[in-house]
Amino acid sequence: MRIASRALAALLLAGTAYLPAQAQPAAEPTAADLVAKNLAARGGSAALAALKSVSLDGKLVFPGGFELTYNEVRSGGAVRVDAALQGLALVQAYDGKGGGWRINPFEGRKDAEPMSDDEARSFADAAPIAGVLLSASSDGSSISYLGREDFDGTNCYKLKVAQKDGDEFVYLIDPDSMLEVKITETRKLRGAVQVSESELGDYEAVGGVMFPMSIESGPQGSSQRQRVIIAKASANPDAPATLFSQPK
Amino acid sequence: MIRTALLAATALTFAMPAIAADTAATPASAGISGLGIRNIGSAAMSGRIAALAARVEDDGKVTIFVGAASGGVWKSDDGGTSFTPKFDKQPVQSIGAVALDPTNKQTVWVGTGEAWTRNSVSVGNGIYKSTDGGDNWTLMGLPNVERITKIVVHPTNGNIVYACAPGALWSDSPDRGLYKTSDGGKTWTQILKGPNLSTGCSGISLDPSNPDRLIAGLWDFRRKGWTFRSGGEGPDAPSGSAMAISEDGGKTWKMLDATTSKGLPKGPWGRIEVVHAPSMPNRVYAVIEHAKTALYVSEDGGKSWEARDSSRNMVWRPFYFQKLVVDPTNADRVFKMNLRVIVSDNAGKSFSDTAGGSHADWHDVWVNPKNPKHLIGADDGGMWISYDGGSKWWHSRNLPISQFYHVAIDDKDPYQVYGGLQDNSSWVGDSEYPGGITNHRWENLYGGDGFWVLPDPASPDHVYAEYQGGNIAWINRKTLEQKAIQPKAGYKEKLRFNWNTPMALSPHDKSVLYLGSQYLHRTRDHGNTWERISPDLSTNNPAKQQQEKSGGITVDNSSAEMHTTIYSISESPKAAGTIWVGTDDGNVQVTTNGGGAWTNVTKALKLGADNWVSWVEASQHDANTAYVAVDRHVFGDMAPHIFVTRDGGKSFARIAGPTTAGIRGYAHVIKEDRVDRNILYAGTEFGMFISRNGGANWEEFRPGNFPAVAVRDIAQSKKGDDLVLATHGRGIWVIDDVSPLRELTPTVVASNVTLVASAPVEQRIQGNGGWSEGDANFVGDNPADGAVITYYQKARHVIGRMKMEIIGPDGQLVEELPTSKRKGLNRVVWSMRTKPPLVPPAASLAGNSVVGQRVLPGQYKVRLTKAGEVTEVPLTLAIDPRASFTADDRKAQYASAERVKALFQRMTGLTFGLVALARDANTAANDAKATPAAKKAAQELALKAADLRKQVVATTEGGAITGEERLRENMDMAYGQIISTEGRPPAYAVARVDALEKELKEVEDAFAALKATKAAALNSELTRAGITPISLAAVQVDMVPTGGQMTALGRGLVGARYFGDFRSLAFPRKKR
C-alpha cells in the first residue's frame, strides 16, 4: 500500500511538473524530457531499482473470448510466460543470456524447443522490468521525439526507440499521465518486417512501479486484437534462474 | 533562349518551412470514430495506380512503393506478396509520384495529386518526405501545386530534389512548373515555368552522366466540366507546351523546338514526356503530342532528334497515358504506357504489345535492374508483375484501392453490396461471410466503367447496372443475361447522358426506376418502355455541348465530358411524386406531381454561376425537406457546399461551406439518418463527416484504419443500421450499427462514462467458410462475431481498473470482458458463449471442448464499473430469425451441453483423484520406512491408479494424431456433435452421452473400490510402518475453464511476441 501510494504521488508530481502541451505550444519537449517524465510517472528510478522481479497473473484473451490463463515473470533480464489451455501450458521464455525456448504442448509434445535467434531476440524485449523505453538509455538504443500524434482523440507525445539490432519501438505517451498508451513495434523476423501494435491501459502500481494491467495487441492493420488482462501482480516474487533456463 | 533565361531569373523562391504532416492532418475525431469501420474491399478489381517505385535490396528482396490514384501509398517489403498502407494519416490520398532516394534507403518522396488527369481525378496538397522508409511523413511544401507527376532525386546528393508539377487542373495558377530543392525540401525554388497560367511541368529527366544536365517538358493543359484541352484549344491553337534543357542544374534553360533542335516537330505541342536511357546517357526519348504525335529519339543528349514510332498506342489519350520507361540495362528497350503497354527493342523504331492479360490503361512500369525480365506494372486494374519480360502478368489481389462511384444494398440477410467502379465494371459482394470476405465473394455483373448498380426490388433475381454514358442494362443475376434498356433519342434529337448517369428507384412503387439524361425518364416495366416525365431540366447551354471538340490537340470525346445533364435524382419517401433533380450545370428542379410540372428552385440556393449539383436528397422524414450538395471543384473551389430546404425549395439554408468547421473537401453525397433526422452523413473528397444536429456542427469520422479518402456514396441498412460507404480509392467500408450516434445527447457527451443500450442482439448462425488464401490476397473483415456493447467515455482511460460484466437473467455473473480505453465511443464484443467445459488434462487438447455453447436467448444486463462509478444497461439476446430451430430446441441443446460439462467436471475430479493417488502411492513406495509389503502394495496401487487414468484420458505423447480415444476423447467428440448446432441434438447424440456416462460411472466405481480396498489396505500397512497414510479424500481441482470461440485464431490473428505459436490451436478439429 505504501509503495503504491509512492507511485501515485510520483505520478501526480509528474502531472504538475509538466503542463499539457496545449498550455505551452511553443515549447516542444525533448526526448530526454519525455523519458524523464515517463520515468517519474512509472514510479521513479528508486522504485524501479528496488523491483528485482515481478509476476503478473491473469488471462490472455483472443477475439471471440478465447481465453488462456496467463502468468508472466520477469527477473534479471529474463522473462517467462506460461499460457495454459485445458491444463496444458504453452511456455515461452528468454533466459537473459541470449537464449529463448518454448514448450508447445497442445499437440502432444511437452519437450522444450529452442527459439530461433530472431524469436529469442524478440522475446528478450519483453524481459526488462522497466520496459524497452526506460531501458533504452542503458542498452545503447537511441531515442528520438517525433512530435505529437492524435491517438483516438488524445494528442499524445510520440517517441521512437531504435535498438542497435535495428528493431524499433514507437511509443505514444498520454500527455496527462505521461504513461505510454500505445507501442508500435517494428522488427525483422527471418528477414521480413513485422509490425505489431499494443495499446496499454488500466495502470496500477506494483512495488511502486506503474504497470499496465490491460494490454491489447495485434498485427498492424488488423482490427482484431489479443488482450492480456492482469488480475494479480506481485512485486519481487521468488524467481530462480531455473525458471528461465531451458529444461533439459 | 532569352525568354527562358528570364524565366529562370525571375524564378520564385519559396522559403517553405517543413510542416509536420501529423499536425497538418485533421486529428481523428475523438467521439464518434470509436464506432469503428471495416473494409470489405474488394481487391478483385483493385483500382488505378498512378505511380510505382521499387528497389532491389541487398538480400535480394524487392521493396515496392505503390502510389494509388486515390488510395494513398502502399509498401511491400516482400516483392508484392503483401502490402501495407503507409499514407493513411495524411489529409489527401491522391498520389502522382513516388521516388526513392538513391543515396539513402530510408528516404522516400511522395508527390500528391495524380497527374493522369481524367475527369474524376482527385487532388493533392504538396510534396511529402519520409525519412524512415514510409512510416512517418512530413509535408515539405508546394501546397498549392495540386498535382505532381514526377520527382527526381539527385543520384549522389539526396538534398537535391526536383518536383515536376503540372499544377492545378481546374483553374489558372502561377504555382505550376518545375521545382528544385537543394536542402532536402526545406526550401523550394520554381526553376522553370510556362508562359501562361495553364502551363506546368509534364516531365523531367536528369542525364545519368551529368545530373546537372536536365531536360524538362512543359504542358499546357486545362479541364472544365464539359471539355478539356491538351495543348491549345485545337491542333493549331497556341499552346504553352514546350521542352527545355539546362546544363546548370536548372539555373538557365534553353528551349528545344523545331528552330533550335534538328528533327523536332513544329508546334503547337501538347503533353511532353522525356527520359534519358540510364545505360546510354546520350540517348533521350521524348513523346511529343502535336498534330502528328510521335516518339522522338536523340542520340546526342537532346541536340538533335529523330521521329520514330507513331502507332496508336503511342499517340492515344496523352492526358491519361504518356509515361516512358527505359530498361536500365538496355538502352534500346523502352516501354510506353497507353491503353496497352507497348515495348520497343529497337530504340523506338517499332513497338509491340506487351500487356498480356492485364487490365488496360497503363500508367507506369518498373524494370528490375538486376533482372530486367522482372517487371512491375500499374494500370487502371491495379498492380501487375511479370517474370518473363512482359509476356504474362500476375495480378496483385492484395491492393483494395478500388474506386467506387456508388453503392446500394439489398434487403437480404445478410445484405449484399452493389456498386460500380472507375474503369472496373459493376460488382456485387457480400457484407459478411464465414471466414471473411475474400476477393472471391465479389461477382462482376457488367462491364466498362461502372456507376449506379441497383438491385431490382420488383424482380429479386435482377439488377440494374450501367456503363458510361447511361448505357443501362437489366441483368439476370442467375444467368448474367444482359438486356440493354437505355432510352433512345427521337428524330434529330440527342439525349445527353452523363458519364455517371443517375438512376433512382421509387420508394413508393417497386416497379418504378428513374433515369436521367437532360430529361427525366421513368420505366414501370424494367425498361421495356420508358416515358419522359420532364422537359430538359438542364440549362441546355450550347457552349457546354461541344464535346466533339474536346481534347485540344488530340481529340477525345469519350462521354466523360458530356454535360448539361441530370446528375442526381431523389424521390421523397414521404410524398409519392415529389421528385428532386440536380444537374451538372447547376440546376435544382422539383416536381410534386410525378413530373406533371417542374419548378426550378436554383435561385433559392443563392449561389453564383458555375455550380455542379452533385447530390439531391429528399428527406426521409418530411416531404418539404431536401438536401442539396454542390460540387464546385471543376471551377477550382475545393470546399464543401451543402444546403437544406424545409419548405419544398422556396428557400435554402447553407449547412456546410468553405468556412464551416469540422468538414472539408468538395461534397459528393449528403444523407439523413433513417431514424434521427438531425443526424446527417456527408461524403466529400476528403472523407466522411457526420453532423448530429442537422448540420449546425460537423465532426470527421476517421477511425485509425480509415484514410481521408473520397466518400462518393452512402447506403444505410434498415436492419442493423449499418452505414455502407462507397469510397473512390479504398473500396467499400461498413460502419456496423450507427444507432449509438442517436444516443449521444449533450448529457451523455458530458458524462464520464455512459453505456449505450442496443437493439436486441441476434445470435447469428455461425457457418464455416473460406479457406487458406495465402498472404497475397485481400480478405475483408466480417462484422463482430458476438454482441457489440457500446459505451462513451469523456477521456481516455489510463489509470486504474475498468470492468465490464455480463449479468445473466438469473442475476448471476456470466462473463467479465476486457474493456476498450479510448476517448469517446468505445465498443466491446461479447461472444455470447458460456465458459468451455473443464476437461481433464491429457496428452493433447480436446479440440471440441475448447469452446462453450452459446448462452440462451433472454434478458441480460451489461454492467460497467469505472473509478467506482457503476452503470448498467439491459441487453436482449434473440435467436437468429433465419434459424430453423425453436426456442425449446435451443434449450434442449443448451441442457445437453451443460450435461456434458457436468460429466467433464466429474471426469476431471476423477482424473485429479487418480493422479493424486498414484503420486501419493509412489511417494509411499519410495519412503525409506516402507516395509516390503507396504512398498509392494503402494507400487501396485500406483499402477492400478495409472491404469484407471488411462481408461479416462489419452496419455500417449509424441504428437496430436495418436488416434488414442479414451473416455475424455470420446466425450469430446460427443460434445462436439452437440454444439455443432444450436438446435436440438439428435437422439443418438444424447444416447451417446448416456453410454459415456455409464462408462464414466464404471471407472468412478472402480476408483471408489480401489480406494476402499487396496488403498485402505495400503494405509493400514503404512500406519503400521509409521508412515502417514495417503489421503483418500476428494482432490480439489485447481483448474479454471479455458478456451472460447476461436475464429480469430483461425485467421492467424496473434499479437506481439506470440506470432505463430497459437495458430496450431485454430483447427484441432479439422486435423482429425
- Across the interface, of A66, A153, A220, the residue whose CB is closest to B30 is A153
Chain B closest-CA separation from residue A68 CA (Å): 5
Last residue in a domain, options B714, B744, B774: B744
Decide if B1057 touches A, using CB distance below 8 A.
yes
Residue A170: closest C-alpha in chain B: B135
Instruction: Give per-residue pLDDT as tens, B905-938.
Output: 999 999 999 999 999 999 999 999 999 999 999 9
User: pTM to 2 decimals?
Assistant: 0.92
Q: Is it true that the peptide bond before B268 is cis, omega within 30 degrees of 0? A: yes
Residue B626 placed within a domain = yes
Over B246-281, what HEC string results?
ECCCCCCCEEECCCCCECCCCCCCCCEEEEEECCEE
Are B29 and B702 a contacting pair, CB within 8 Å?
Answer: yes
- CB contacts of A185 in chain B (<8 Å) are 1056
Cross-chain CB nearest to A108 (options B704, B841, B959): B959
What pLDDT, on the 0 to 100 scale, is given for residue A11? 33
Dist. CA B721–CA B737, nearest whole Å: 5
Per-residue CA distances from B414 to B19, B243, B816, B827 (Å): 46, 57, 29, 21
* Residue B831: closest C-alpha in chain A: A64
CB B35 within 8 A of CB B827: yes
* pLDDT for the residue numbered B1049: 53
**What rounded mean pLDDT belongs to chain B?**
93
Residue A210 in domain: yes
Cα(A83)–Cα(A86) distance, integer angstroms? 10
Write out pLDDT tens, residues B700-717.
999 989 999 999 999 999
Probe site for chain A from B1057, B1063, B1065, B1069 (most A CB atoms < 10 A): B1057
Phi, psi of B730 (to 5 degrees): -140, 25
Match 488434462 to its residue by C-alpha cell: B841
Q: How many CB pairs under 8 A join A and B?
A: 229
| Distance (Å, whole) CA B230 – CA B217 | 13
More confident residue, B26 or B425: B425
Mean pLDDT of chain A: 86
Higher pLDDT, A111 or B69: B69
**Domain finish residue from B841, B862, B883:** B883
pLDDT of residue A10 exceeding 50: no
Nearest Cα to Cα of residue B216 among B159, B254, B184 = B254
Q: How confident is the model at residue B956 (pLDDT cuts 50, 70, 90)?
A: confident
* Cα gap B64→B53, rounded to integer Å: 6
Domain co-membership, B504 together with B564:
yes
Q: Residues 343..362 of B with a Cβ closer than 8 Å to A: which?
A: none
Q: List, as ranges, residues 2-41 from B with C-beta within 8 Å of A.
A: 20, 22-23, 25, 27-31, 33-34, 36, 38
Residue A155 maps to a domain: yes
Domain-embedded: residue B520 = yes
User: What is the crossing angle of helices B987-1010 and B932-952, to 10°?
Assistant: 180
Residue type, B1066: A
HSE of A146 in the Cβ direction (CA atoms, 13 Å)?
25
- B707 touching chain A per CB within 8 A: no
Confidence of residue A221 (pLDDT cuts 50, 70, 90): confident
Write out residues 106-145 of B within 8 Å (CB-CB) of A.
Answer: 135-136
Chain A residues whose beta carbon lies within 8 Å of the beta carbon of residue B72: none
Residue A21: CATH number of its domain: 2.50.20.10
One domain, residues B628 and B711: yes
Distance, CA of A161 to CA of A133 (rounded, Å): 7
Q: What is the per-residue pLDDT for B773?
A: 85
Whether residue B813 lies inside any domain: the answer is: yes
Provide the residue range defining the domain that includes B865.
761-883
**In terms of domains, do B684 and B801 share one?**
no
Question: Is B1062 at the interface with chain A, CB within 8 A?
Answer: yes
Q: What DSSP letter does each residue of B276-337 carry, written as one string?
A: EETTEEEEEEEEE-STT-EEEEESSTTSB-EE----HHHHS-TTT---EEE-TT-TT-EEE-
Place of cell 487490365: B359
State the pLDDT at residue B959: 64
| pLDDT attached to residue A218 | 83
Residues B860 and B907 in one domain: no
**What is the H or E stretch that residue B1005 is in?**
helix B987-1010
Cell 484504419: give the residue. Answer: B705
Mutate which of A60, A62, A82 to disrupt the B interface (most B C-beta within 10 Å)?
A62
B999 and B1025 in a single domain? The answer is yes
Instruction: Say how far apart CA B790 and CA B807 lie, in whole Å.
Output: 16
Burial of A137 (0-12, 13-18, 19+ CB in 10 A): middle
Dist CA B399 CA B39 (whole Å): 12
Which residue of B lies nearest to A67 if distances are taken between CA atoms? B1043
Q: With a cut of 90, say whether residue B17 has pLDDT above it.
A: no
Whether B428 and B454 map to the same domain: the answer is: yes
Tens-digit pLDDT profile for residues A13-40? 333 333 333 444 457 899 999 999 999 9
Does residue B723 form part of some domain?
yes
More confident residue, B1049 or A88: A88
pLDDT at A21 (0 to 100): 36
Q: Chain B residue closest to A118 (CA)?
A: B1057
Distance linking the first and last C-alpha atoms of chain B: 81
Whether B205 maps to a domain, the answer reads no
Q: Is the pLDDT at B144 greater than 60, yes or no?
A: yes
Mutation choice for B interface testing from A71, A79, A86, A190 by most B CBs within 10 A: A86
Those residues with Cβ within 8 angstroms of residue B152's Cβ, 6 or more apart along the chain or in another chain = B99, B161, B162, B164, B204, B205, B206
pLDDT digits (tens, 9 = 90+) for A50-77: 999 999 999 998 877 889 999 999 999 9
C-alpha cell at A116: 530461433
Q: Report yes or no on B444 lying in a domain.
A: yes
Residue A196 — very low, low, confident or very high, per pLDDT cuts 50/70/90?
confident
Q: Using the structure block, give the residue that is written with the C-alpha cell 421495356.
A: B528
Percent of residues in chain B assigned helix, strand, coil, to nearest 5: 15, 30, 50
Neighboring chain B residues of A123 at a CB cutoff of 8 Å? 1057
Closest CA–CA distance from residue A4 to any residue of chain B (Å): 12
Contact criterion met (CB < 8 Å) for A222 and B1053: yes
Close Cβ partners of B1032 (under 8 Å, ≥ 6 residues apart): B917, B1011, B1015, B1016, B1019
pLDDT value at position B20?
33
- How many structural domains is chain B composed of? 3
Residues B957 and B985 in one domain: yes
Q: Which three cell numbers stand for residue B131?
A: 525519412
- Give me the residue label for grid cell 476486457: B818
Instruction: Report the residue from B781, B802, B1048 with minimal CB separation from A64.
Output: B1048
Report the residue from A176, A204, A219 with minimal CB separation from B800: A204
Is B170 inside any structural domain? no
In a domain, B367, yes or no: no
Range name among A182-191, B286-295, B680-689 with the lowest pLDDT average:
A182-191
> Looking at chain B, how many residues does it have?
1072
Judge if B465 and B572 occupy the same domain: yes
> Cβ distance B391 to B352 under 8 Å?
no
My answer on whether B953 and B824 are in the same domain is no
Q: Determine which of A58-72, A133-147, B662-676 has the lowest per-residue pLDDT on average.
A: A58-72
Q: With 80 as the cut, is the pLDDT of residue B512 above it?
A: yes
Query: Residue B589 maps to which CATH number?
Result: 2.130.10.10
Domain check: are B601 and B504 in the same one? yes
Domain annotation covers residue A248 = no
Minimal Cα–Cα distance from B1062 to chain A, Å?
A: 9
B234 or B875: which carries more pLDDT confidence?
A: B875
Choose among A146, A176, A226: nearest Cβ to B1054.
Answer: A226
Total tally of structural domains belonging to chain A: 1
Q: What percent of chain B has pLDDT over 70?
A: 94
The answer to whether ipTM exceeds 0.90 is no
Per CB-CB distance under 8 Å, the chain A contacts of B38 are 223
In a domain, A173, yes or no: yes
Tell me which chain B residues have a C-beta less than 8 angstroms from the C-beta of A219.
1053-1055
Range of the domain at A172: 2-243
Q: Quick check: B801 contacting A, CB < 8 Å?
A: yes
Query: Is the model more confident about A88 or about B331?
Result: B331
Contact residues for A214 (Cβ-Cβ < 8 A; gap 6+): A200, A201, A202, A227, A228, A229, A230, B802, B818, B819, B821
Interface check B768 vs A, CB under 8 A: no
Mean pLDDT of all residues in B511-518: 98
Q: Is residue A25 part of a domain?
A: yes
Per-residue model confidence as pLDDT tens digits over B590-623 = 999 999 999 999 999 999 888 999 999 999 999 9
